[in-house]
A and B are shown apart, each in its own frame.
Chain A
Amino acid sequence: MTEQHLAYILRLADNALILGQRNSEWCGHGPALEEDIALSNISLDLIGQARLLYAHAASLETAAGGAARTEDHYAYWRTEPEFANYTLVELPHYGPLAGTARAEKDYAVTIVRNFLYATLMSHLWPALAQSSDAQLAAIAAKSVKENLYHVHHAADWLVRMGDGTEESHLRAQRALDYLAPYTNELFSVDPLEDSVAQAGIGARNGQLKAAWLADVEATLDEATLSLPAPGGYTSTGKLGIHSEHMGFLLAELQSVARLYPGAQW
């Protein structure tokens, strides 16, 4: 059980860290000062959640007789295939591009992604607050409160964009069409979830899907946006098989730690 337990905690932590890192790209570059601060604050919450989870993972690994770890080990010294975050949270802030093309960040992508993820967590964190793992339950109970503000922030903007101008509606719908297929991975069959759910530690996302979908559709209605038809491929980030964007993100995240190992300041 310990191996799956550890893997599940790391998956939760990786999602929080990678989305926090991605959203921090808006720090100093937000579309408005208030949004710059909002995204920085949301990233701070996510990275804070990741730190608590990584520290918990380190204590689990040490208790199981493994190597003595710290939270930094998981964030800075693992390689891309060892990260188990959903592909959704690692994608850049713009839609699909051919080859090595680059584009400006699009706030619609940022908002739609945060909305889809935070809505899932608004069901998953309360479930995990009942975990038999007391430390995970404690982290979840804090995260429930923080996540509420994240959901409201994203949903508020989604309604403004979707029910806004022709341009904002178009971009919000385009972002939704792009990102919606990546939510398949959030709910796909998952042996890891099965084993931790049986042990009373974790939850099966599949059982949260109906509630997630109801929340998503209620806000999309208000935003005059529509989910694309279900289907498409299922991404595989949680299995460690990531998109082409993940390596660049990690290179930036880990560069200082790897240039100056053990640096203190």
Chain B
Amino acid sequence: MVNAMQTTPLLDLQPETSSAAATSTSMAATTADAALAQAWAVLECVPDPEIPVVSIRELGILRDVRRADDARGTLEVVITPTYSGCPAMGQIKQDIESAMTAAGIVPFRVVSVLAPAWTTDWITAEARAKLNAYGIAPPQGDRPIAPGTAQPLRFVPRRGSVADQPPCPHCHSTHTERLAQFGSTACKALYRCLECREPFDYFKPY
């Protein structure tokens, strides 16, 4: 269960073709591969409930669609939670179920896996651009330094100690400062731009 999800590469569907495929419920696609491709296309259009400009596939929440080893050929939609306590997981599961049912892709089930742990590195380049346009600075590479690994904990100077200065999504200045490490959702921190003075959300590296 842990490793199987890494074996199938994620399909790189164009949004135009995927929405066309999602609306087509033609069940002429009876072969296994066609059903899988249709499922991917349908799921491509399921947005994240908290950040609806990006899809669950682009955020790395949707890990795989595969056929279960049973007589009915049940499709398994494999998802992984972002933060352990992410309250959107229930909604995401429901949204997947509605989308699959509406497209007539049955039978299926939604499977949640924890390993490998979700990471912001899985957020696609397109999604990063969409986040930025939406007003959320996408995650940078730097995570908080683990105590006792790289260097002793140092909290002064505080600016720049946890994340460096993400560019402002409004005016692109890198002259920004952190207001709070925890923001409107578990995955975001609150920043302020010192040039245009606008506050903005920063998607924390995880």
Q: Per-residue CB proximity of A51-72 to B under 8 Å, as 1/0?
A: 1100000000000000000000
Give how many A residues have a beta carbon under 8 Å from the other chain's beta carbons. Answer: 45
Do B155 and A159 touch across chains, with their CB atoms under 8 A apart? yes
Across-interface contacts of A211 in B (CB, < 8 A): 148
Q: Per-residue CB proximity of A130-159 to B under 8 Å, as 1/0?
A: 000011011101111110110111011001
Across-interface contacts of A51 in B (CB, < 8 A): 84-85
B88 to chain A minimum Cβ distance, whole angstroms, is 11
Would you call the interface of chain B mostly helix, strand, loop, or mixed? loop
Quick one: given A134-B2, A142-B117, are A155 and B153 in contact (CB under 8 Å)? yes
Give residues of chain B (168-190) contacting chain A, Cβ–Cβ below 8 Å: 179-184, 186, 190
A–B complex contacts, Cβ < 8 Å, 14 sampled: A44-B83, A45-B84, A45-B85, A49-B84, A52-B84, A141-B116, A148-B146, A149-B182, A151-B147, A152-B161, A156-B181, A214-B148, A215-B153, A219-B153
Residues of B near any A CB (own CB < 8 A): 2, 81, 83-87, 113-119, 143-144, 146-148, 152-156, 158, 161-162, 179-184, 186, 190, 204, 206
Would you call the interface of chain A mostly helix, strand, loop, or mixed? helix
Do B180 and A38 touch across chains, with their CB atoms under 8 A apart? yes
Residues of A near any B CB (own CB < 8 A): 34-35, 37-38, 40-49, 51-52, 119, 122-123, 126, 134-135, 137-139, 141-146, 148-149, 151-153, 155-156, 159, 211, 214-215, 218-219, 222
A123 to B146, CA, bound (A): 9
